[in-house]
């Protein structure tokens, strides 16, 4: 069977051919990008981070309580459909899953709030 040389490196504008089955498609110079999903594995699964079966029960209750509307947009006088449930006091800063610590947000507000934290 003929030898397969590989494919272009996954890094944008990198002309190097990456060897197959090494560094998940990145060349030697960009191999550090191959482990981007390593951080996700190190965080643990959703249950170990506190988003297990209890969270699956609380989330719909918060959505219904807030009428499926983004609470940040409501404060600005805009009615926007919410798709995310967010911790007002982040879990990383000892926030809890208590209903009083949860709010519904739309995706842009959720991203902006997460970036500020």
SS3 assignment, position 56: helix
- How do the domains of the chain map onto residue ranges? 7-43, 53-116
Helical residues (DSSP H) of the chain, grouped into ranges: 38-43, 53-65, 71-75, 107-116
Is pLDDT at 35 greater than 70 in this prediction? no
Residues of the chain above pLDDT 70, percent? 85
Residues of the chain above pLDDT 90, percent? 43
Q: Count CB atoms within 10 A of the CB of residue 30.
A: 17
pLDDT confidence of 19, banded at 50, 70, 90? Answer: confident
68-108: per-residue pLDDT in tens? 999 999 999 999 999 999 999 988 888 888 999 999 999 99
């Amino acid at each position: 069977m003929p030898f397969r040389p590989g494919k272009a490196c996954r890094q944008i504008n990198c002309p190097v051919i990456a060897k197959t089955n090494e560094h998940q498609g990145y060349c030697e110079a960009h191999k550090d990008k191959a482990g981007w999903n390593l951080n996700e594995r190190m965080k643990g699964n959703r249950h170990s981070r506190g988003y297990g079966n209890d969270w699956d029960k609380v989330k719909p209750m918060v959505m219904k309580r807030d009428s499926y509307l983004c609470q940040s947009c409501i404060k600005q006088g805009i009615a926007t459909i919410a798709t995310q449930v967010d911790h007002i006091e982040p879990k990383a800063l000892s926030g809890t899953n208590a209903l009083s610590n949860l709010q519904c947000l739309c995706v842009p507000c959720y991203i902006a709030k997460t970036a500020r934290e």
